[in-house]
Structure 1
């Protein structure tokens, strides 16, 4: 007998039950995605916050330019705290405000620019305006020549070194460099960060060193405590398979709790001794295994594929591999576990980005079977070809015994838990964007062509389509089904162009009493 559903049953922190009531709705519920300025990918509230912080920094810098130089230096150091906290795996900012990884990267870059600007201002004010000690200005305004060659030359050159390192770090992090030489960029980024912290320590910027120490503690907690100790027994039981589509399936015995939409960081020594890679969890919390799907798109993932093919133990599937992981990490910035906040869900995925959304879809389906009130759940998936679709939706991937029955969601009702899910409540629309023909066919168990695939048993009410999805039509259909009142939870994961379309459509469709609240994930 299944336990009846109750709100927040997946919460691992008591705070999560009340955070959406404590934190202003404009932040926690992500309503600020409507309206948004799509050219730069920012929302009105994000722009407002950035303008206020920038203006506040400028005003504070001007007021402190005639004050003792250490005061402006402390302000410059302060911006390093959010700079490091935002990129922590267990970031308190993400925990409290529900900021996604994608938005954390934006704010990380913003605070880097702010820290650089204030560091430059700190140096200029030290040379031309601020007194260098507390006795009030006998050494005020020494100028560049005297400052760089006199008794303060040590501070001058270490400060200049910090600024130069920050400029190199920021310039080398522009999207083309970060996208096409990711591994080299990542190593350079870490080396420059360590160099900047060392120089800051010499300069006397203790706050920067403290913020970096917190960041390192977070990394060590994941790498050493979780990956190499807490979950080390699971590493010896990991299995890996190379699928028909070229994707890699990596699975572990499920011995930890997680929520849909979370991800884990994987370390495989036989592929690389020094790299952890983040992957969304494809499994549902009720599955027997913890699985991830990996697209061979970079050096590390392609090396993993080669490692599998050359393994003497590989015989087509489920080859043993030594793999470690830490997590789960991340949270959704929507109050989706509430009983009253959301009863309609729109899940939009592109390519391999659909994996966390399938986890959501199946989890909501299981909750509906246990009594959760659900009005509509629509999954829209844009995928290149049917081989990828069938591999991702292979029911054996998730090892759920109920999936062997094509109508398991209808047959699981009992006297104690009489909740039968209607096919009208759950829909999955799969769009093959590069079809081989206008008619999508599969081979059934008898080797005959069929318009239904074995994957259809995993989801409810599956519709196979060719071509791209019409987001405007789908959002409008959902809006009309809301009868002019309510909120829709929109979760998206996929390429940048697709997620921008989702945001734009959610903004334009939020009318007539219906609001689309958006949470996006996009890993670089």
Structure 2
């Protein structure tokens, strides 16, 4: 049952995509087994259909790879499809970056196939000069205005690599292969986390990749026969010594075969997605030029500061994210941040932790450490792109929600919890009736700013008599010693937690999900429960497995992971 809810839809999408690749590969392979490529296959053998099949699959995947990163298109699709599609279909839009990576891996595979086949093809083009019979005859066909020749290497006294480097296909092939290697190697998690600027700049080399791929086929090295109607290769292949000669009756039985180059196809596949992407960049540029007013800069514990901002026409949903650029720090770098304000606030805010060069530079630019931070100091210009949708937009589609945050992954739930409370106090018909919030905190000083929000929640729930609406559980995984343990024991019976000051006590260690999920299922039988997680991959796999394992015929856990 759990796999049917959380895995089967994704597997169906992947299966359709893989089937499309297999179908394209097989179709193109057999297309190049046709009679118009008969003579070229005599020279190249299986390398011809394999190389062209790989190229066709490259066209298909390069057409697809831009669509998942068109964030505005994804957000628009999410809003439009809500009226006609169920939540199982909509949840696939949350995996757009996963699909983007899968497509990139497929591009690498077919690049290797295409490149490897053409390396052998270049060797066979040159070797054909030394082969007796029809192979040398084909290679020695003259270069005429009507396109007689078939072998792009026009002399036997050369090197195939040198000849390839003289062609448009060879030069662009080398360039786009090197660009692909740079893009893929800089996309590893280590590089993205430690050297984000390297990832950002090298990833924008995709422009070079697309331009190079568009002109890659201009040399028209792959040539097909155009006069099959008068020169049947099956009949004339053994009469190559008589090609173009007249018979006794004055007729030419086998005229010289004529060939023409295959025109480039890449641009035809990718023009549509490129237009979508250019429109996407246009929207982003327009948004980045809109004025953003910094209303307030708040310094929080643990090297966290908050930017409260306002922008004309800015509307947001719970848990959405934006991209921020500070031209004073860098004219090119955009960094994603989850919105921590609620849609009901008259401003939008982000919490930024000072952990790198960029965040430290922004903190300095907005005078975080200045004692006069509340006064009218000169603040830098900030550009904002977004907001963009995430899985948390679906929180009201369930009667019971389970929010799980680990580390910095707690930020989207600051917005979500605030918005839920606003909606709870105003909308009695709201479908959502119960919220569980699990916060796995690495140490005592991490994200202390969220404690204030939870204290506020405690107060409001007590005042409204809805103390059972939210149950939150904080798990401290490290950072305590013997003295702290003694302090915890001494204050065990007090109303508030001695560490956080909250009504619900802190837990120490890691949560046991195999006990938590059955308990929730028992408390809410026959319910559809939305599980929303933001945090590291390792824990995500554990939670995904737990949702599948504990989804029975009655209670169903729908797993949703934040991705941006």
Whether TM-score is above 0.5 comes out as yes
Residue 200 (structure 1) aligns with: 213
Give 1:497's match in structure 2, choosing from 538, 544, 548.
538
Are positions 1:328 and 2:328 aligned together?
no
Residue 409 (structure 2) aligns with: 353
SS across alignment from 1:438: helix
> Is this contact kept in 2: 1:83–1:108, CA < 8 A?
yes
Q: 1:352-384 deviations in whole A, cap 9, x for unaligned?
A: 211212322332333333211434210000112
1:429-444 aligned within 5 A: 429-436=473-480, 437-438=484-485
Give 1:480's match in structure 2, choosing from 511, 514, 522.
522
C-alpha deviation, 1:289, in angstroms: 2.7
Residue 246 (structure 1) aligns with: 303
C-alpha deviation, 1:90, in angstroms: 1.5
SS across alignment from 2:381: coil
SS across alignment from 1:162: helix
Give 1:226's match in structure 2, choosing from 287, 297, 315.
287
Give 2:185's match in structure 1, choosing from 171, 187, 192.
171
> Is this contact kept in 1: 2:319–2:390, CA < 8 A?
yes
Give 1:112's match in structure 2, choosing from 88, 91, 104.
104
Residue 277 (structure 2) aligns with: 215
Does the C-alpha gap of structure 1 residues 410 and 77 become closer, same or farther in structure 2, counting only changes over 3 Å?
Answer: same
> Is this contact kept in 1: 2:444–2:476, CA < 8 A?
yes
Q: Within 1, Cα distance between the matches of 2:392 and 2:421? A: 20
Residue 508 (structure 1) aligns with: 549
CA RMSD of aligned residues (A): 4.1
Q: 1:394-432 deviations in whole A, cap 9, x for unaligned?
A: 34xx9xxxx979643465xxxxxxxx6632232111122
SS across alignment from 1:286: coil
> Is this contact kept in 2: 1:349–1:494, CA < 8 A?
yes
Give 1:180's match in structure 2, choosing from 194, 203, 206.
194
1:418-429 aligned within 5 A: 422-429=466-473
Does the C-alpha gap of structure 1 residues 283 and 120 become closer, same or farther in structure 2, counting only changes over 3 Å?
Answer: same
Name the count of aligned residue pairs. Answer: 451
Residue 255 (structure 2) aligns with: none
SS across alignment from 1:381: strand
Residue 451 (structure 1) aligns with: 497
C-alpha deviation, 1:187, in angstroms: 1.2
Q: Within 2, Cα distance between the matches of 1:32 and 1:359? A: 27
> Is this contact kept in 1: 2:392–2:416, CA < 8 A?
no
Does the C-alpha gap of structure 1 residues 333 and 238 become closer, same or farther in structure 2, counting only changes over 3 Å?
Answer: closer
> Is this contact kept in 2: 1:438–1:466, CA < 8 A?
no
Q: Within 1, Cα distance between the matches of 2:109 and 2:30? A: 16
Q: Structure 2: 5+ residue runs without aligned partners?
A: 38-48, 82-88, 125-137, 139-146, 217-263, 489-493
Q: Which has the larger radius of gyration?
A: 2
Residue 39 (structure 1) aligns with: none
Q: Which has the higher contact order (CA 8 A, sep 6+)?
A: 1
Residue 444 (structure 1) aligns with: none
Give 1:64's match in structure 2, choosing from 31, 39, 49.
31
Q: Within 1, Cα distance between the matches of 2:358 and 2:470? A: 37
> Is this contact kept in 2: 1:267–1:275, CA < 8 A?
yes
1:122-201 aligned within 5 A: 127=121, 149=163, 153-190=167-204, 192-201=205-214
C-alpha deviation, 1:219, in angstroms: 2.5
C-alpha deviation, 1:301, in angstroms: 1.3
Q: 1:314-347 deviations in whole A, cap 9, x for unaligned?
A: 4479975532212111232875444xxx201100
Does the C-alpha gap of structure 1 residues 321 and 285 become closer, same or farther in structure 2, counting only changes over 3 Å?
Answer: same
> Is this contact kept in 2: 1:100–1:520, CA < 8 A?
no
Q: Within 2, Cα distance between the matches of 1:57 and 1:82? A: 14
1:283-432 aligned within 5 A: 283-308=341-366, 314-315=372-373, 320-332=379-391, 335-338=394-397, 342-369=398-425, 370-371=427-428, 372-395=430-453, 407-409=459-461, 411=463, 422-432=466-476
Q: Which moved more, 1:372-381 or 1:145-154?
A: 145-154
C-alpha deviation, 1:259, in angstroms: 1.1
> Is this contact kept in 1: 2:319–2:338, CA < 8 A?
yes
Q: Within 2, Cα distance between the matches of 1:404 and 1:521? A: 25
Q: Within 1, Cα distance between the matches of 2:278 and 2:420? A: 36
Structure with the bigger percentage of helix: 2
C-alpha deviation, 1:470, in angstroms: 1.9
Q: Within 2, Cα distance between the matches of 1:515 and 1:331? A: 21
Q: Structure 1: 5+ residue runs without aligned partners?
A: 1-25, 37-42, 132-136, 412-419, 442-447
Q: Within 2, Cα distance between the matches of 1:47 and 1:150? A: 36
TM-score, length basis structure 1 = 0.73
C-alpha deviation, 1:303, in angstroms: 2.3
Q: Within 1, Cα distance between the matches of 2:376 and 2:21? A: 53
Does the C-alpha gap of structure 1 residues 385 and 254 become closer, same or farther in structure 2, counting only changes over 3 Å?
Answer: farther
Residue 414 (structure 1) aligns with: none
C-alpha deviation, 1:138, in angstroms: 7.6
Q: 1:85-128 deviations in whole A, cap 9, x for unaligned?
A: 11122133863554678732222122123234334555677759
TM-score, length basis structure 2 = 0.68
Q: 1:446-501 deviations in whole A, cap 9, x for unaligned?
A: xx995378875xxxx74432222222222111111122x22110100012222222
C-alpha deviation, 1:260, in angstroms: 1.0
SS across alignment from 1:322: coil
Q: Within 2, Cα distance between the matches of 1:88 and 1:386? A: 39
Q: Which moved more, 1:144-153 or 1:267-276?
A: 144-153
